[in-house]
Amino acid sequence: MPRPLEPVSPALRAVLGISFFVIFIAFWSWMTFGGHVARIFLADPLSMLRDGWRLLVEDNFLLDIGITMWRVFGGFILAAVVAVPLGIMMGAWKPVEAFLEPFVSFARYLPASAFIPLLILWAGVGEVEKLLVIFVGSVFQLILIIAVSVGNTRRDLVEAAYTLGSTSRGIVRRVIVPANAPEIAETLRLVLGWAWTYVIVAELIGSSSGIGYMIINSQSRLQTGQIIFGIIVIGLIGLVSDTAFKALNRKLFPWSLA
């Protein structure tokens, strides 16, 4: 057994990471091919791949994937455009925080999925409703996390800037924003992951396209292979966007890693 907190070599890290997937798929194969679970409840890996291929080739599933991605990123960008400036203002100016913080903390606990019926009444079952679900689900979380990290800006850096002649505006623009930019980017990355859960829920209810729609549609036809394929696609997209986000952060903020 290695000692606690002792680092692991990159090669071993890769091997360990991959081996869990192998074990997972092996267990799944054993359950399904071995007949330990009825086919009607859980498709085996091979028929999942077959179903997935059919989805892509015959049912134009790529379009669904595209629609779902547009909803996630659309709603999320809207939320970020509102939340980043508001969060920075709340963190920087205490009266703004006193004014907004109680409401935002309250709104944060309102489940986005519970808003879906209301949002359908207001905006119909079209794209606006889907974007709003993502927006409602992400915006309050973003505001609060960003406000907290901005509020924790190192005071000694702010003081140093004052002694170098910064005005209040200069402090915000040239200390508070750059100091917190990596953490804000990291928060966006985290909350984007949550946005994926909201979009699927939004597509399960009152939708005629998207990955979530395909999943609920497959359920009524007991196509568990398709459901699993849809879930795996979401996981893969999440993994890719997460990795891209991380790489972008590393490129944008080399100083925070140097």
Partner 1 sequence: MAKNAKLLVEKVSRSFPGVRGGTPVRALLPVELSVAENDFITILGPSGCGKSTLLRIIAGLDHPSEGRVLLDGREVRGPGPDRGMVFQSYTLFPWLTVAENIAFGLREKGVPEARRKEIVANYMQLVGLKGFENHWPKQLSGGMQQRTAIARALANDPEILLLDEPFGALDNQTRGLMQELLLGIWEREKKTVLFVTHDIEEAIFMASRVVVMSARPGRIKSDVAVDLPHPRSYTIKTSPEFSEFKARLTEEIRVEAMQAAEAH
3-state helix, strand, coil in the chain (%, to 5): 80, 0, 20
Nearer to partner 1, 177 or 237 (CB): 177
In the structure encoding, which two tokens stand for residue 113, read together? 């999925």
Residue 153 Cβ vs partner 1, minimum distance, rounded to whole Å: 11
Residue 143 Cβ vs partner 1, minimum distance, rounded to whole Å: 23
Residues in the chain: 258
Please state, in angstroms and rounded to a whole number, the distance separating the CA atoms of residues 193 and 137.
11
Nearer to partner 1, 221 or 251 (CB): 251
Residue 9 Cβ vs partner 1, minimum distance, rounded to whole Å: 25
Nearer to partner 1, 171 or 211 (CB): 171
Residue 7 Cβ vs partner 1, minimum distance, rounded to whole Å: 20
CA 216 → CA 84, 92, 124, 200, 226, distances in Å? Answer: 34, 45, 19, 10, 10
In the structure encoding, which two tokens stand for residue 255, read together? 């100083």
Task: Residue 166: count other Cβ atoms within 10 Å of its Cβ.
Answer: 17
Nearer to partner 1, 174 or 189 (CB): 174
Please state, in angstroms and rounded to a whole number, the distance separating the CA atoms of residues 239 and 136.
23
Residue 255 Cβ vs partner 1, minimum distance, rounded to whole Å: 5
Residues 142 and 75 sit within 8 Å (Cβ to Cβ): no
Nearer to partner 1, 159 or 239 (CB): 159
Residue 158 Cβ vs partner 1, minimum distance, rounded to whole Å: 9
Which parts of this chain interact with partner 1 (CB under 8 A)?
A: 156-157, 159-167, 170, 174-175, 178-179, 181, 253-256, 258
Q: Which helix (H) or strand (E) holds 132?
A: helix 127-151
In the structure encoding, which two tokens stand for residue 71, read together? 């909803």
Location of structure tokens 């990471």: 17
Please state, in angstroms and rounded to a whole number, the distance separating the CA atoms of residues 228 and 236.
12
Which residues, in sequence order, are CB contacts of 31 under 8 Å at separation 6+?
A: 37, 42
Nearer to partner 1, 60 or 167 (CB): 167
Nearer to partner 1, 169 or 221 (CB): 169
In the structure encoding, which two tokens stand for residue 80, read together? 């970020």
Residue 168 Cβ vs partner 1, minimum distance, rounded to whole Å: 11
Residue type, 74: G
